Amino acid sequence: MNVVADRPRRLESYIAGAWMRGSKDGVTLCDAATGAPVALVDSSGIDFAAALAYGREKGGPALRRMSFHERAMMLKALAQALMERKEEFYALSTATGATRPDSWIDIEGGIGTLFSYASKGRRELPNSHVLLDGDVEALSRDGTFSAQHILTPRQGIAVHINAFNFPCWGMLEKLAPTLLAGMPAIVKPASQTAYLAELVVRRIVDTGLLPEGALQLVCGSPGNLLDHVGDQDVVTFTGSATTGRKLKTHPAIVGNSVRFTMEADSLNAAVLGLDAAPGAEEFGLFVREVAREMTSKAGQKCTAIRRVIAPRAHCDALITALGERLAKVPLGDPADENVRMGPLASRDQREEVRARILDLTTDAEIVAGDPARPQLVSGDAEAGAFLNPVLLYCDSPDAARSVHDVEAFGPVSTVMPYDTAEEAVDLVRRGRGSLVTSVFTNDPDIARELVIGMAPFHGRVMIGNRLSAKSSTGHGSPLPGLVHGGPGRAGGGEELGGMRGVRHYMQRTAVQGAPGLVAAVTGRWMEGAPARSPGEHPFRKSLAELRVGDQIVTETRTVTLEDIEHFAEFTGDTFYAHMDEEAARANPFFDGRVAHGYLVVSLAAGLFVDPAPGPVLANYGVDGLRFLTPVYPGDALQVRLTCKEISPRINSDYGEVRWDCRVTNQTGATVAQYDVLTMVAKTGSGEE
């Protein structure tokens, strides 16, 4: 049942560590299905300058004192706590018009994003406070001057202005990378569904997991909030392009060069390949995907399919198939288990969509669905914001404008024909930048031509076919590891994308200086920095004893022809350069038979490994392996192994150690260079 109080509750904002109501009664928010009042929203009386200052001065320093791994563990604990309360969120979500599956995308999709960033943070980031970006840049021939790009948390606050359609996911997908980066946030949800965002923030605050000042909430108008943003702050916006452009050109944002990212209107497309005729598996998958994207969240998704582009010869069959499928979708009260599509978020939103449908009919005709007469299986058609799915057809899309300019933000799509792949690409491009387009084909040549032609105009392109049908996450699902955003009309911003999203809240800085000093800043040893040879083999040291810069230089090992032949026989690698003197000399890179590269790596391990049980528990990888100088029979190999980086794991008895490994020959030339990755016990010998 819908969760609506007998009297609408006044929503509160969470500012400077306290919950507060606006000074006025505010605007009434209504249940999308019944029209009954749900809450009152108002933000008058909030000191926005003080709120921003509180986040910068209280939340920012607290987050920056934590390492990446500590912040990742915080996200994991937060996700677990919210997951335990998910049914409370589901109960209130029906008031937004969302069915249970719709709410799953919003609620568990948002919580899942927290989990994903928690996992990625522990796996992909070091347990440190500074993130390295790229390789060391050598700036002098004598090795006394080098540079390293680093990323550090911006020392401002992130202001997240979110849309009404995903009050949970839209908030959490931005908060996850923000908090992991070490930056506090103020969240301003769209008023229409702010009651659900407020409930989630209440439960976040209840956990006590976030440092004070790390998260604040504004329910209601943002007032003069943006007047007070500064050069270290970040502003993100999700909503209409018109509003986004106004915010982007706000004097404080322009004057202070505030980092700004926008996700706006997007006329996403789905293209049916020329090979996908009626009866082909891809045709059926296409029909299912278009129908799903039209009806999921009642089409109120920034990634929903607005333009359906299909071979002209297949359009009649496509319209028939889509019309039949859409007619079977039960529309009604989202609390009804038999309902598969709920209402729009409000009656005002329904009238907005109806007006945009009218705009579209200047170039297209309605071929399925009646926007004026919703057919319900439950609920009140007048009290609720119900609208049946509406399908239009534009016969001459190359000459049309409205179908490429107007977005009806609801269950509305327009079918348009094409004759060649080039025409399909042109039609997609007319959307002037979108979040996502999907291509349904089983032909590699068609896939290549369409995707390469469309890619510059999109943040994401999904290819659907029979092989990926069961595992595909679908056209409309933004994923934590993939970029969510798009060029041009879509706003020009990027969110998510794994660690790309985290970097948005950090500052990239090139640090130049003597290698030892740069290494002291980064926490990672580099060529030219001081090294120590403590006498004891570094592999005998636990993390508590090991230090960055600890180094061992091994004895030498002479490579023989017998070594090369034995390795070839033992491994089966009988490549001619190792076995045939004449053929090897004919190779422009060699002067005769050479040792296998992996033989060199194996011999190097034999030189630097301390074989006794001890703190080193396992070798789990090699990074950046390069073979730089050929090794011939008679060459003497030597290894210099240096502790490069130490990253202890939280809540574990071991950590990762990165070792710089440089293999040289008797002339001092480097024959191989790589990083060895090991697991090392924090204390003791590692023996049980």
pLDDT (tens digit, 9 = 90+) per residue, 596-606? 999 999 999 99
440: left (phi over 0), alpha (psi -120 to 50) or beta: beta
Rounded to whole angstroms, how far apart are CA atoms 201 and 198?
5
Note the pLDDT of residue 577: 93
Rounded to whole angstroms, how far apart are CA atoms 430 and 414?
14
Q: Which two tokens stand for residue 531?
A: 């090294």
- DSSP label of 59: I
Q: At 344, which amino acid appears? A: L
Rounded to whole angstroms, how far apart are CA atoms 307 and 284?
17
User: Contact, 309 vs 424, CB < 8 A?
Assistant: yes
> Measured in whole angstroms, how far is the alpha carbon of residue 324 from the centre of its chain?
36
Nearest to 27 by CA among 14, 37, 40, 18: 40
Note the pLDDT of residue 1: 38
Q: At 556, which amino acid appears? A: T
What is the set of active-site residues?
A: 263, 302
Q: At 515, which amino acid appears? A: P
Rounded to whole angstroms, how far apart are CA atoms 473 and 293?
12
Rounded to whole angstroms, how far apart are CA atoms 431 and 291?
20
Note the pLDDT of residue 6: 60
Rounded to whole angstroms, how far apart are CA atoms 102 and 455?
29
Rounded to whole angstroms, how far apart are CA atoms 311 and 214?
52
- DSSP label of 469: T
Rg (CA), the chain: 30
Rounded to whole angstroms, how far apart are CA atoms 88 and 86?
5
| Cβ count within 10 A of residue 664 | 21
Cα–Cα distance list, 601 to 196, 568, 623 (Å): 57, 14, 13
User: What's the whole-model pTM score?
Assistant: 0.91
Q: At 494, which amino acid appears? A: E
CB-based contacts of 688, cutoff 8 Å, min separation 6: none
**Residues in the chain with pLDDT < 50?**
1-5, 686-688
pLDDT digits (tens, 9 = 90+) for 501-556: 999 999 999 999 999 999 999 999 999 999 998 778 999 899 999 999 999 999 99
Q: Which two tokens stand for residue 421?
A: 């792949």
CB-based contacts of 334, cutoff 8 Å, min separation 6: 32, 33, 94, 97, 98, 99, 100, 102, 342, 343
Note the pLDDT of residue 365: 96
